[in-house]
């Protein structure tokens, strides 16, 4: 039996703000500041609730005219970066 797909959620403790349509996220412990483009901002916003990669891909495809395969690749890459930087946690 395969294990359920991991669910991700942004770390609610991290400071963030949307500046001229782009999400800015501060990671004080690492002394880092991240700024996202429009698509990444959309995904960051979606991650205010627990989401699987599949759910994020679906949301992205609904919002933008984007090929599902490319969307999945981009979402996986983005979520992996968020996890590596400590910006999201697994629910």
Partner 1 sequence: MNGCAILQDLNARAYDGCIPLNVSLELTLRCNIRCTHCYNFDRDEPRPAPGAELSMEELRVLMDDLRRAGTLFLSLTGGEAMVHPRFWEIADEASSRGFALMVLSNGTLLTEPACDRLASYGSLWAVSLSLYGARAETHDGITQVAGSFERTMAGARRLAARGVRVGLKFVLMKANALEAEQMIAAAEGEGFDYSIDPTITGRYDGTSGSLSTRVDAQTLERLYAGPLRSLITPGPADPTDDQFKCNCARGNAAVSSTGEVYPCIATPLRAGSIRERSFAEIWTDSPVFRWIRGLRVADFKTCAPCGLKSWCRRSPGPAYLLTGNYTGIDPWTCQEASIIKSVAAP
Q: Which residues bind partner 1 (CB under 8 A)?
A: 11, 13-20, 24, 26, 28-29, 31-35
Instruction: Please state the closest distance from residue 51 (CB atom) to partner 1, in A.
Output: 19
40 versus 71: smaller Cβ distance to partner 1: 40
Q: Which of 73, 61, 83 is nearest to 10 (CA)?
A: 83
Instruction: Please state the closest distance from residue 57 (CB atom) to partner 1, in A.
Output: 26
Instruction: Please state the closest distance from residue 6 (CB atom) to partner 1, in A.
Output: 21
Beta strands per DSSP E along the chain: 8-10, 16-19, 22-27, 32-35, 88-90
16 versus 51: smaller Cβ distance to partner 1: 16
Residues 6+ apart with CB under 8 A from 58: none
6 versus 86: smaller Cβ distance to partner 1: 86
Cα-based distances in Å from 19 to 26, 31, 42: 13, 19, 13
């Amino acid at each position: 039996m395969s294990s359920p797909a991991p669910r991700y959620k942004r770390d609610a403790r991290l400071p963030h703000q949307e500046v001229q349509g782009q999400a800015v996220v501060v990671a004080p412990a690492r002394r880092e500041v991240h700024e996202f483009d429009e698509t990444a901002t959309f995904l960051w916003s979606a991650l205010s609730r627990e989401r699987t990669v599949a759910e994020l891909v679906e949301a992205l495809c609904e919002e933008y005219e984007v090929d599902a395969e490319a969307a999945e690749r981009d979402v996986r890459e983005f979520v992996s970066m968020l996890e590596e930087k400590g910006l999201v946690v697994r629910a």
